[in-house]
């Protein structure tokens, strides 16, 4: 397991209480925890149901809940709710991502809590920001369909969701941005505020450039698989042994380099292929010729030549293959973490460094309620004071 950085982390001393599950809220809490905040995750009796998910959701809990403490409270009971309120009173930030109306029913909404805790920074992660859709339940896939991302991802007539929970993850990130801004403002005013992060609005932000494309051209943007490419060579090719490789040659210089790598002076000397504009005009024929040539090349040898030439290329990797990715390992982005069952798994760190250091694993993944006694004991001691 990585050791915590020797120097204090940026959010050391900030206490966060998290009422969340699945991906969006937990992502926000995890990033704050990675940055040094003490994050107390409140789980219901039996634990967050995300721990027990299967299929594509089996990795959610381990991915988005590192560096947190786990406290079990039944906030539907009088005692559990009282403990939750007392804990909130000692926190700087509260996170929640439950269905609309639940926190208000329990008196855990911002309007209620801020009366006695005016410095509280409160983050709600929702499907929609206030408006006509705000009472709808939303999932990442729902908003991808509504906001045009699935349309842009799949081929014409076949909308396809992106292959990861991009809105949930980015929604949590925008929650963090709101927290950092609100904490900075609290330094000046002494007052907290409510932050809302919406899945649908996040997805609209993701497709904003396509919205502008439509506004500027007056045309419906074609889905990415059917888009008009500004470059002739910008595609996935099948090589020997059915290996696939993405290759890009987006300038005339790169085209010349690619012809050299492939040892095909005939392509380089063809007058119909001298400029990118000429190649784009007959793109299907160019791709067909390259496909015939490339199917005779082995991926290892060609990759080495493309690397040496400085040309854009990429093998088509599966997520499981990244567990052994040499760059992720060497850059410190893939590290071991002790899991809640006492085992060890690999976890992907935040894609950034601060002062040349990665934000690492500071504590083992918490078992259900592992820190309940510790945290509630501290609460009793504060009451005694």
Question: What confidence tens digit (pLDDT) does each residue in 179-204 have?
Answer: 999 999 999 999 999 999 999 999 99
- Give me the residue label for tokens 């006509």: 132
CB 328 within 8 A of CB 334: yes
- Domains defined along the chain, listed by start: 15-207+325-384 (3.40.50.10540), 229-318 (3.30.1540.10)
pTM: 0.93
Q: Phi/psi of residue 344, each to 5°?
A: -135, 135
Question: What confidence tens digit (pLDDT) does each residue in 279-328 have?
Answer: 999 999 999 999 999 999 999 999 999 999 999 999 999 999 999 999 99
CB 279 within 8 A of CB 349: no
Positive/negative CA dihedral, 221, 255, 326, 321? positive
* E strands, the chain, in order: 15-19, 38-43, 68-72, 93-96, 121-126, 194-198, 233-238, 244-249, 313-315, 334-338, 344-348, 353-354, 357-358
Amino acid 229: pLDDT: 87
User: What's the chain's length in residues?
Assistant: 385
Task: Please tell me the distance from the alpha carbon of residue 114 to that of residue 120, in angstroms, as a whole number.
Answer: 6
């Amino acid at each position: 397991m990585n050791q915590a950085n020797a120097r204090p982390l940026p959010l050391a001393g900030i206490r966060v209480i998290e009422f969340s599950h699945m991906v969006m809220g937990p992502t926000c809490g995890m990033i704050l925890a990675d940055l040094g905040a003490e994050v107390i995750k409140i789980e219901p009796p039996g634990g967050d149901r995300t721990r027990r998910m299967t299929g594509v959701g089996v990795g959610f809990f381990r991915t988005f809940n590192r560096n947190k403490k786990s406290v079990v409270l039944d906030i539907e009971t009088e005692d559990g709710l009282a403990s939750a309120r007392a804990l909130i009173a000692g926190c700087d930030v509260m996170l929640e991502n439950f269905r609309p109306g639940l926190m208000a029913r329990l008196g855990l909404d911002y309007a209620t809590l801020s009366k006695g805790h005016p410095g509280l920074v409160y983050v709600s992660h929702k499907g929609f920001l206030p408006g006509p859709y705000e009472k709808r339940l939303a999932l990442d896939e729902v908003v991808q369909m509504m906001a045009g991302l699935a349309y842009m991802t799949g081929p014409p007539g076949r909308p396809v969701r992106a292959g990861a929970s991009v809105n949930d993850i980015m929604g949590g990130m925008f929650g963090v941005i709101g927290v950092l801004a609100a904490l900075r403002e609290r330094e000046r005013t002494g007052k907290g505020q409510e932050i809302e992060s919406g899945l649908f609005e996040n997805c609209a932000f993701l497709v904003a450039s396509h919205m502008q494309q439509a506004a500027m051209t007056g045309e419906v943007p074609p889905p990415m698989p059917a888009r008009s490419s500004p470059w002739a060579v910008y595609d996935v090719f099948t090589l020997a042994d059915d290996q696939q490789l993405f290759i890009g040659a987006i300038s005339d210089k790169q085209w010349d380099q690619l012809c050299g790598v492939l040892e095909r002076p005939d392509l380089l000397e063809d007058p119909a292929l001298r400029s990118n504009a000429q190649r784009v005009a007959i793109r299907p024929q160019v791709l067909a010729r390259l496909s015939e040539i490339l199917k005779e090349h082995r991926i290892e040898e060609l990759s080495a030549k493309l690397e040496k030439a400085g040309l854009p290329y990429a093998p088509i990797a599966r997520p499981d293959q990244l567990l052994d990715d040499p760059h992720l390992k060497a850059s410190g982005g893939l590290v071991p973490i002790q899991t809640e069952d006492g085992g060890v798994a690999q976890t992907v760190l935040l894609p950034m460094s601060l002062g040349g250091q990665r934000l690492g694993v500071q504590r083992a993944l918490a078992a259900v309620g592992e820190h309940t006694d510790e945290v509630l004991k501290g609460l009793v001691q504060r009451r005694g004071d």
